[in-house]
């Protein structure tokens, strides 16, 4: 059941979301990068449907990413909307059930996670699309010396020598620049008030997005 009385109309006034072209391209590229890694190194990765080790986390995302989730939901068929609503309600019920993250620590599940599956997988944020890939970080020692380091899911690449070479690491610095550009495109579009009054650069909690989705789905 929802928290809304049965005869009360939805409160969500979302009708359209604009300025998402750059973000959609970036999301597709991030997913493509991950798939390329999985195709080449899948025998040393545990990333599969049902693995939710990286999904036990509380996330805030860029407004454009929250808008993308809403836009995706708006485009669903009536039957798909019913499936999504049922998933979100199950996720809400299971929200107090702790699980283990990739490091083996107890964490609360993402608000979109139910029975080990993501309810908004097709519209998931950039961060979710890059998990599992080797991520390139730049470390500055404060003396002008910059070294490259890699971060990867501790469940992947456990066999010695199985970590992909640096040429196959995802450059997080470049990704961040591209995401800022995508966010600027979204901010320039007429999406004011989509998530209520807030500073323009403030991120949106996924729990807030789930609430909006449930309002949207009725």
Contact 185, 23 (CB under 8 A): yes
Task: Give the pLDDT score at 191.
Answer: 76
Task: Give the pLDDT score at 104.
Answer: 58
The values of phi and psi at residue 203, to 5°, are -80, 170
d(CA 182, CA 62): 10
d(CA 195, CA 215): 13
Task: Give the pLDDT score at 11.
Answer: 41
d(CA 17, CA 196): 14
d(CA 184, CA 65): 12
Q: Where does residue 110 rank: exposed (0-12), middle (13-18), buried (19+ CB within 10 A)?
A: buried
Instruction: Give the chain's residues under pLDDT 70.
Output: 1-15, 96-106, 192-193, 196-201
| Spatial CA neighbour of 21 closest among 209, 194, 183, 175 | 183
d(CA 110, CA 60): 11
Point out which residues pair with 71 in neighbouring strands.
none
Q: How many CB atoms lie within 10 A of CB 78?
A: 6
Contact 150, 137 (CB under 8 A): yes
Q: What percent of the chain has pLDDT over 70?
A: 84
């Amino acid at each position: 059941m929802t928290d809304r009385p049965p005869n009360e109309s939805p409160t969500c006034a979302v009708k359209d979301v604009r300025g998402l072209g750059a973000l959609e391209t970036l999301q597709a590229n991030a997913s493509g990068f991950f798939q390329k890694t999985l195709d080449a190194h899948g025998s040393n990765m545990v990333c599969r449907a049902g693995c939710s080790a990286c999904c036990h986390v509380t996330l805030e995302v860029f407004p454009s990413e929250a808008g993308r989730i809403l836009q995706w939901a708006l485009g669903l068929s009536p039957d798909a909307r019913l499936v999504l609503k049922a998933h979100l309600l199950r996720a809400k019920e299971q929200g107090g059930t702790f699980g283990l993250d990739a490091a083996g620590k107890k964490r609360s599940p993402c608000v979109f996670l139910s029975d080990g599956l993501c309810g908004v997988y097709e519209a998931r944020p950039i961060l979710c699309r890059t998990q599992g890939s080797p991520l390139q970080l730049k470390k500055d020692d404060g003396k002008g010396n910059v070294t490259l380091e890699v971060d990867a899911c501790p469940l992947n690449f456990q066999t010695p020598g199985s970590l992909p070479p640096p040429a196959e690491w995802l450059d997080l610095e470049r990704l961040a620049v591209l995401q800022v550009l995508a966010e600027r495109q979204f901010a320039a579009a007429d999406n004011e008030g989509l998530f209520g009054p807030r500073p323009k650069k403030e991120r949106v909690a996924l729990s807030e997005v789930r609430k909006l989705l449930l309002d949207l789905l009725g």
